[in-house]
Structure 1
Amino acid sequence: MSSNDEGLTCNGRVTVFTMFGVVFGYATHHLDDRRIGDVGVVGPVTPGVGWPRLWDMARKCGKSAAKDTELAQWILIQATRAFVCGSDRIAQFEQQGWKLEPGGKRVSFEATYANRDHLWTGNLTVEGLTPEQAAEQPTLYRA
């Protein structure tokens, strides 16, 4: 686990989904020329919501003694669920610009999890989202 002191600007597939009313983006990043998307990138796109809220959700929904790696797995599986199943998906872009702001949290998995070796979280911006798509969504549950 490490802090994300550098931002990241990319162009690629982005899934935008809602979880407990907050809107998040999920993208992938490649660390080498194999371009296998070994890094999952997840962060809130809802204005005024910071990346620690994502980790708070994971803590509230996971087991009380969970370590950061287990919390990161929970976060990644929620994003993967939205991508694969379309659950709570707001938008799916095949080629879209996105930016991960400096700050945030990075976790490396001991073994590949949900096809990713790392999870990087932070505040995310996705080009082309309307204010309505990024706004907090109605929900029955809060975390």
Structure 2
Amino acid sequence: MAADEGLTGSSRVTVFAMFGVAFGYATHHLDARRVGDVAVVGPLTPGVEWGLLWQMARNCGRATAGEAELARWVLTQATRAFVCGSGRIAQFPEQGWKLEPGGKRVRFDSTYANRDQLWTGNLTVEGLAPDQVAQRPTIYTV
């Protein structure tokens, strides 16, 4: 499903590097329960578009993977950074962020990593320094 509308929020944010690109992972709440039922993931490195995230998932996943499986791969990488610190650049308990219009939204058939949906797109996070979002050297390419 395409994401035609942008979204602005303030929540927990993890900034992490994967394949040399800085990404942000935030949560969004669809109702007053504030259970963070939506994962929001997008690139933060200037000049990198959100489609690269899906290209990474395709290159690293099974050749026959469908959209939901690719979305689970994306969420797994973001969750790994949040929980284990793998590639983590920064973590904020509450930080403002903005998901630009466009991107892709995927609803999971059942809750995955405590999230019901994944929304991806070009993301900005308030208060990040240029070195936190800069391209990083990597031995792996996609």
TM-score tier (shorter) = over 0.9
Shift of 1:95: 1.1
Name the residue aligned to 2:11.
12
Name the residue aligned to 1:92.
91
Displacement over 4 Å in runs of 4+: none
CA RMSD of aligned residues (A): 0.5
Name the residue aligned to 1:57.
56
When the two structures are superposed, what TM-score results if normalisation uses the length of structure 1?
0.98
SS in 1 for 2:101: coil
When the two structures are superposed, what TM-score results if normalisation uses the length of structure 2?
0.99
Shift of 1:138: 1.1
Shift of 1:108: 0.2
**Match for 1:119: what amino acid?**
L
- Within a 5 Å distance, the mapping from 1:1-143 to structure 2 comes to 2-143=1-142
Distance 1:116 1:19 in 2: 21
Superimposed CA distance per residue, residues 51-81 of structure 1 (whole angstroms, 9 cap, x where no aligned partner): 0000000000000010000000000000000
Shift of 1:140: 1.0
Unaligned runs of 5+ in 2: none
Unaligned runs of 5+ in 1: none
SS in 1 for 2:83: helix
Distance 1:106 1:80 in 2: 17
Distance 2:102 2:140 in 1: 28
Superimposed CA distance per residue, residues 29-52 of structure 1 (whole angstroms, 9 cap, x where no aligned partner): 001111100000000000000000
Distance 2:117 2:90 in 1: 23
**Match for 2:12: what amino acid?**
R
Shift of 1:125: 0.1
